[in-house]
């Protein structure tokens, strides 16, 4: 028989001073605070932009330094997010096993860890990459922690729209790491991620809207019908695809990127409109298939940015 600990919803467990917390479990918990799977997406948008900025293969050490600094910065932001949100994380099934909820780590440990990563990552970028990248990295961290987590998330359905700016900044960091400057190419790709974020996240929010409602977080699917959310997804999707095609007429990319952007963007729009049609038909439950678009959104951004990296070699 297996003993299962029961914990009332909303209860955050705090380790007792003398409580036994295995070293291995604590190490895993610290790693979990950084949200590694989310950081994977951030790196997918950072490295290809470095290839585009270099118009070829960038210095390998610079790539590694930028990726490691990006991991530290995003990890610090995620840890601070979990520290601030530990009360609502305890109310949601999706987040109820996070380290500061289960008590594997104390809130103080989470706070110190997050702040330490913020300082170390900024110095890492400044000393080993450049100070423009350091400023952008710190700006992304502060925007995610202060603007999104502390101000927007619990107050407005536009939280993920404007809060998503933090997730767009790695594009600028990748460009600035190579050139120590900005360009329209970086800004266009920044906008692609900006318009990608809401239609990427809203399908997941539709799936777990009961979680958000229980925690009192006003995600759009909590406040609006599936039809309204799907309409917003379609609008943002069209703008995203249109923006993604601006790189070629401005001379930054060639035929390969254009072909990939058209193919992947066309498939995205097909899926977005299919979700809207199901929502209009008042389909609910598993038949709504909202997660099809969520999973495709990850594939889309991966393929698009791979094309960003490959295109310079085919021009």
Q: How confident is the model at residue 12 (pLDDT cuts 50, 70, 90)?
A: low
| pLDDT, average across residues 252-281 | 97
Decide if pLDDT at 32 tops 50.
yes
What distance, in Å, lies between the first and last C-alpha atoms of the chain?
A: 63
* Tokens linked to 193: 């991620």
Give residue-wise pLDDT tens across range 36-48: 888 788 889 999 9
The per-residue pLDDT of the chain, averaged, comes to 92
Q: How confident is the model at residue 135 (pLDDT cuts 50, 70, 90)?
A: very high
Q: How confident is the model at residue 122 (pLDDT cuts 50, 70, 90)?
A: very high
- Burial class from Cβ neighbours inside 10 Å (0-12, 13-18, 19+) for residue 60 reads exposed
Residue 43 has what pLDDT? Answer: 85
Give residue-wise pLDDT tens across range 185-238: 999 999 999 999 999 999 999 999 999 999 999 999 999 999 999 999 999 999
pTM: 0.91
High-pLDDT (> 70) share of the chain, % = 94
Q: Which residue reads 């914990």 in tokens? A: 7
Distance between CA atoms of residues 183 and 172, nearest Å: 9
Decide if pLDDT at 49 tops 60.
yes
Residue 6 has what pLDDT? Answer: 38
DSSP code for 287: G
Residue 10 has what pLDDT? Answer: 57
- Minimal CA–CA distance to 172: which of 198, 145, 200, 192? 192
Asked if 46 and 70 count as a contact pair (C-beta separation under 8 A), the reply is yes
| pLDDT, average across residues 247-275 | 97
Buried b (16+ CB within 10 A) or exposed e, 142-157: ebbbebbbeebbeebb
Q: How confident is the model at residue 281 (pLDDT cuts 50, 70, 90)?
A: very high
């Amino acid at each position: 028989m297996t003993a299962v600990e029961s914990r009332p919803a909303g209860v955050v467990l705090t380790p007792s001073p003398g409580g036994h917390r295995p070293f291995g479990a604590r190490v895993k918990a610290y790693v979990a605070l950084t949200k590694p799977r989310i950081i994977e997406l951030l790196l997918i948008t950072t490295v290809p932009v470095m290839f585009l900025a270099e118009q070829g293969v960038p210095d390998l050490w610079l790539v590694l330094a930028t990726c490691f600094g990006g991991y530290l910065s995003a990890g610090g932001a995620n840890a601070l997010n979990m520290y601030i949100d530990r009360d609502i994380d305890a109310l949601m099934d999706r987040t109820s096993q996070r380290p500061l909820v289960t008590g594997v780590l104390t809130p103080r440990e989470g706070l110190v860890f997050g702040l330490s990563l913020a300082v170390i990552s900024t110095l890492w970028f400044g000393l080993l990459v450049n100070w423009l990248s350091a400023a952008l990295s710190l700006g992304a961290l502060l925007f995610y922690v202060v603007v999104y987590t502390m101000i927007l998330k619990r107050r407005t359905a536009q939280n993920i729209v404007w809060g998503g700016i933090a997730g767009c900044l790695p594009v600028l960091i990748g460009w600035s790491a190579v050139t120590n400057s900005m360009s329209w190419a970086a800004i266009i790709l920044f906008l692609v991620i900006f318009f990608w974020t809401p239609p990427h996240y809203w399908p997941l929010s539709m799936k777990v809207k009961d979680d958000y409602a229980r925690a009192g977080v006003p995600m759009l699917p909590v406040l609006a019908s599936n039809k309204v959310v799907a309409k917003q997804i379609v609008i943002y999707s069209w703008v995203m695809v249109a923006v993604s095609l601006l790189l070629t007429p401005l001379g930054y990319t060639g035929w390969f990127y254009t072909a990939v952007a058209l193919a992947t963007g066309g498939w995205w729009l097909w899926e977005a409109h299919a979700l809207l049609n199901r929502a209009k038909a008042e389909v609910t439950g598993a038949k709504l298939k909202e997660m099809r678009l969520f999973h495709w959104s990850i594939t889309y951004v991966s393929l698009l940015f791979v094309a960003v990296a490959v295109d310079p070699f085919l021009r």
